[in-house]
Amino acid sequence: MNAIVRDVAAGSPAADTVIKPGDRLRKINGHVISDVLDYMYYSYDERIMIELESAEGMLKLVRLRKPEGSDVGLEFDTFLMDSERSCANKCIFCFIDQLPKGMRRTLYYKDDDVRLSFLQGNYITLTNLSKQDVERIVKLRVSPINVSVHTMDPQLRAYMLGRVSLSDSGVEHIRTLANSGITLNCQIVCCPNINDGERLQQTLAALLSLGAGVNSISVVPVGLTKHRQGLAALEPFDKDLAIGTVLSVDSIGDMCLKQRGTRVVYCADELYIKAERELPPYEYYDDFPQLENGVGMMRLFMTEFLGELEKTVLPDRKGSADCDNAFTIVTGSAAAGYIENLLMTASAKHDTIRGEICTIRNDFFGEGVTVSGLITGRDIIAQLKGRSTGGRLLIPVNMLKRGEDVFLDDVTVTELSQELGVPVRVVMQDGADFLHAVLDCE
């Protein structure tokens, strides 16, 4: 599928050529361009020949010289220059299948596109790739790729992903990519009595046997909502199961640290919280390779907050009548204790901080869902309506759709502010920003 040029960026190498919006990109240096990966790979060179077809069907050949690796400057109708690949699996733990009806349509879309994994960090299963697709990934050096593994047992993986046969479980694709020099970051959604315990240890051993091709592995507890009618019967993690998993994974991570100089295998913060164990220190997480999976997120946040507190000169506002910095912070129960400790530490240094933490019960998804990123606007409104929130309300940015001001239930930040009658400040996923939000008078 050849992509249509939507625009040519001003000042780009292509700006002063005959390339126009409406032209169809066909080839670069003789190679057919089917999507964004082809475009990025074959346009990398310093000298390139671009073949296009005008809207009138005329052939255009354009020679370009540019700095190696720089963008040509063509913009296309779609980001991928092709249609997006959706997920064909029926995973027994799929969170999207646990969403209630009536939410916006985009929330129900399941992507499983290797190009989005490479370009945006999405986790994919590899099950919709053919042998030729895998060969193309290796040829174009599409790396790193984030893979939802769950287990390396083909039979168990086929069951967990809802595949019809073992031949399309995707396990061999994982091995092929890792052995071909493609870097993989792996995720294991751990389900009690299915892929935990000894089976989890076997999966970790199989992945680690692939050597440097596996850059990192996260172990994440299965997330279960109250909307599971007609779905597979799954059990949540309890304290004892969480403790056993943390001890097992940390032991394997310690071994990796000695052998490879990096831990490789990490548990998500949520497992430590469920196990009621202290989070590992900052150094434990190396370069935080699994941050998007909630691995080390709270430790990083606390370290940023305390580091900023140490170097921030706090104004003396004792007795000041022109600065009322009273506030309420909303969060999920998983993070509430950590946030409270940070506030206590800051208050000890600056005793005019007057903040309250409000732990929001997740009525929308069920009380078993405790992370702040799955709290809805309606739950906040229902639980804070008519309650004093001080002069302002602080909410973490992960409650909102990326790049927008809307919650999962389509309530906007403006609507939340109007319903509660207070200004709302969105706090970035950054401890330093949180400290400044706490100290802000406006």
Q: Is residue 156 part of a domain?
A: yes
- Domain identity same for 106 and 61: no
Which of 295, 322, 346 terminates a domain? The answer is 295
User: What 3-state DSSP class applies to 143?
Assistant: coil
**pLDDT number for residue 389:** 77
Asked whether residue 109 falls in the same domain as residue 238, the answer is yes
Model pTM score: 0.91
pLDDT in tens, 89-122: 999 999 999 999 888 888 999 999 999 999 999 9
Number of domains into which the chain is organized: 3
Cα–chain-centroid distance for residue 199?
Answer: 26
What integer pLDDT is reported at residue 441 of this predicted model? 56
Q: Which residues of the chain have pLDDT under 50?
A: 318-322, 442
Check whether residue 101 and residue 70 sit in a common domain: no
Q: What is the pLDDT of residue 321?
A: 44
Gap between the Cα atoms of 228 and 403, Å rounded: 29
Angle at 120 between CA 226 and CA 370, to 5 degrees: 25
Query: What integer pLDDT is reported at residue 102 of this predicted model?
Result: 83
∠ CA 204-299-396 to the nearest 5 degrees?
Answer: 110
Q: 25 with 66, same domain? A: yes
| Residue in the block written with tokens 């319903």 | 419
Q: Is residue 88 part of a domain?
A: no
Specify whether 165 is located in the same domain as 280.
Answer: yes
Give residue 312's pLDDT: 81
Q: What is the CATH number of the domain that holds 390?
A: 3.40.50
- 351: enclosing H helix or E strand: none
Distance CA 364, CA 204 (A): 34
- 319 found inside a domain: yes
Candidates 423, 354, 406, 411; CA nearest to 382 is 411
Q: Do residue 115 and residue 263 come from a single domain?
A: yes
In Å, what is the CA distance from 118 to each residue of 87, 138, 140, 145? 16, 13, 12, 5
CATH of the domain at 196: 3.80.30
* Pair of tokens at residue 377: 């606007």
What is the C-alpha to C-alpha distance for residues 377 and 295, in angstroms, rounded to an integer?
25
Choosing from 295, 319, 345, the residue where a domain stops is 295
Look at residue 89 and tell me if it is in a domain.
no
Residues with Cβ within 8 Å of residue 249, at least 6 apart in sequence: 200, 204, 219, 265, 266, 267, 271
Residues pairing with 219 in the sheet? 188, 267
- Report the pLDDT value the prediction gives residue 325, as an integer from 0 to 100: 72
Tell me the pLDDT tens digit for each residue of 209-241.
Answer: 999 999 999 999 999 999 999 999 999 999 999
Q: Compute how many other C-beta atoms are within 10 angstroms of the C-beta atom of residue 43.
A: 24
> Are residues 229 and 372 part of one domain?
no
> Do 231 and 200 fall into the same domain?
yes
Cα separation of 338 and 181, whole Å? 40
Query: The domain containing residue 21 runs over which residues?
Result: 5-76
Give yes or no: residues 161 and 266 share one domain: yes
Q: Treating both helix axes as pointing N-terminal to C-terminal, what angle do 131-140 and 171-179 enclose, rounded to 10 degrees?
A: 20
Last residue of a domain, one of 76, 104, 134: 76
Same domain, 34 and 155: no
